[in-house]
Amino acid sequence: MPKKEKPLPFYIATTGFYEAKVKICFSDEAFQAALKHSKITTKHSSLDVGVAESHYIQQEGTQNAMLAIVFDLKAMEDYDSLERIGVIVHECVHTVTHVFEYIGEDEAKIGDETRAYFTEYLFKQVFAAYATEQENYENFRKRHREASEQIREKIERALNEMVKHDNGSAGQNSVPQPASVPSGTENPDRKSKRKTKGGV
């Protein structure tokens, strides 16, 4: 049976007949994995400023290159829905420019209609990845909240049981007590004395 491959920590958007791939990342870890996947060995930061960034990285002296968009999913929570969509569109526009640069196409020769269709095509894929990642993130947070709530309830039940069974004493005596003194032992030096019965 063939070994099942581990899923990639990033998404891949296609660019149609341009045949370039755009990696969509939602964390620095995913971005670093995308660099490695693209065989880029130079160091790069996923986000220099802001909540999202578009990248075109070509490692000097090699054929290794990568197109990527990175989003800080947690930071985007502070944005309303329209602002989030605006951020995604903004980065898609930059990425379209990067794709033309990547394939060596003169941007001046690209018509507005071609650019608009291509941006729309890319946006749909990036937005679908964002929506999926956002849903996964929300589900993770919900599971985490539910697990925390279950732990809190167990602790409360245990504390309530302790209070219910509390009789005001200091609790069970945990200091071990000596076993009962064997019959016939009376003196403190623990020497045994035989008891004798009268007669014989």
Question: Is residue 23 pLDDT above 70, yes or no?
Answer: yes
Q: How many domains does the chain have?
A: 1
Using a 10 angstrom Cβ sphere, with 0-12 exposed, 13-18 middle and 19 or more buried, the burial of residue 73 is middle
Going by the DSSP 8-state scheme, the letter that residue 63 receives in this structure is S
Q: What pLDDT does residue 103 have?
A: 92
Q: Tell me if 87 sits within 8 A of 52, measured CB to CB.
A: yes
Q: Is 69 exposed, middle or buried (0-12, 13-18, 19+ CB in 10 A)?
A: buried
Average confidence (pLDDT) over 135-143: 76
What per-residue confidence (pLDDT) applies to 147? 66
Report the alpha-carbon distance of residue 68 to residue 102 in Å, rounded. 12
In a domain, 190, yes or no: no
Residue 58: domain span: 11-158
pLDDT of residue 176: 61
Distance from C-alpha of 20 to C-alpha of 88, rounded to nearest angstrom: 19
Is residue 164 one of the residues assigned to a domain?
no
**Residue 198 counted as domain residue:** no
Phi-psi region of 50 (alpha: psi -120 to 50; beta: other; left: phi over 0): left
Residue 168 pLDDT level (bands cut at 50, 70, 90): low
- pLDDT value of residue 59: 94
Least confident of 15-24, 52-61, 124-133, 152-161: 152-161
Whether residue 121 is contained in a domain is answered as: yes
Q: Which two tokens stand for residue 119?
A: 């941006």
Q: Return the pLDDT at 17.
A: 87
d(CA 174, CA 120): 73
pLDDT in tens, 43-99: 999 999 899 999 999 999 999 999 999 999 999 999 999 999 999 999 999 999 999
